Structure 1
């Protein structure tokens, strides 16, 4: 996890954590002697929405492109890992969400899949 040192014992998270729950962008943390986070000492107000795409799914690239386009259009900070893991950072204190409209990129997908992934409730 990328951090920025603020003091001898305090660091600010400088990324969107993909796999670390309870820690978000710009939270202030302390670390132990093994350089592992030992505590969150100040919450930043940021939230993290995580999405994992199935790497072997035949329409993964299409879904990646759709998610990327919607997130970019909404102006949301985000990071991708290996094209299958997505972390999104809605603005603190906002009710900002990815613009949602009904979509069905492939007939084999359930029509509500996109609405569930891209709904306002995903950010609460």
Structure 2
């Protein structure tokens, strides 16, 4: 979900895949990723050393982060440092408007479910998929290949750029 308040767009995760009763939220300024005026609200849980938190959602916009990565927050409650990578990746797909007759979103949802992968949707056009192992990804790519070639879907890896804080 996205909401704009006083010129700042906040992106939230309505159903974080690892949400539990001990989760908390922190903001991440997306300006270092060329998304000025945007903040992503990530779900975290404390792990190990005081001040270390594990990412419990699949980032929609933040680069260099994935489910299970360990981060630190600053005094303001904002994520400012990546401590340790989890070894997972996130594949993000954006479906453009107008939608073609051969809309692949339902097929993608089925393929993600059959492959046993975790995913989060931001609305009905933007999905982030947890990728613990690349070997399970071919059916996912096959579902959206036609739309990618036709220019009605676009994809990227969240680790296409390194994590960077303001």
TM bucket, shorter chain: 0.7 to 0.9
1:85 — aligned with what?
A: 126
Alpha-carbon RMSD: 3.3
Provide the rounded CA distance (Å) in 2 between the counterparts of 1:61 and 1:36.
41
TM-score, scaled to structure 2 = 0.56
Provide the rounded CA distance (Å) in 1 between the counterparts of 2:108 and 2:80.
33
2:95 — aligned with what?
A: 53
Are 2:104 and 2:143, in contact at CA under 8 Å, matched by a contact in 1? Answer: no
1:22 — aligned with what?
A: 64
Provide the rounded CA distance (Å) in 1 between the counterparts of 2:126 and 2:95.
6
Are 2:119 and 2:130, in contact at CA under 8 Å, matched by a contact in 1? Answer: yes
How far off is 1:67 after superposition? 1.4
Provide the rounded CA distance (Å) in 2 between the counterparts of 1:51 and 1:103.
9
Q: For 1:73, which of 114, 121, 136 is the aligned residue?
A: 114
Residues 36/9 of structure 1: CA separation in 2 closer, same or farther (3 Å cut) = same
2:14 — aligned with what?
A: none
Moved beyond 4 Å, runs of 4+: 100-105
Provide the rounded CA distance (Å) in 2 between the counterparts of 1:84 and 1:2.
21
TM-score, scaled to structure 1 = 0.73
Aligned residues between the structures: 114
Q: Does 1:95 align with 2:119?
A: no
Q: For 2:79, which of 37, 41, 44 is the aligned residue?
A: 37
Secondary structure (helix, strand or coil) at the match of 1:95 reads: helix
Provide the rounded CA distance (Å) in 2 between the counterparts of 1:37 and 1:31.
4
Secondary structure (helix, strand or coil) at the match of 1:45 reads: coil
Correspondence list, 1:98-113, <5 A: 98-99=138-139, 101=142, 112-113=149-150
Secondary structure (helix, strand or coil) at the match of 2:76 reads: coil
Structure with bigger strand share is: 2
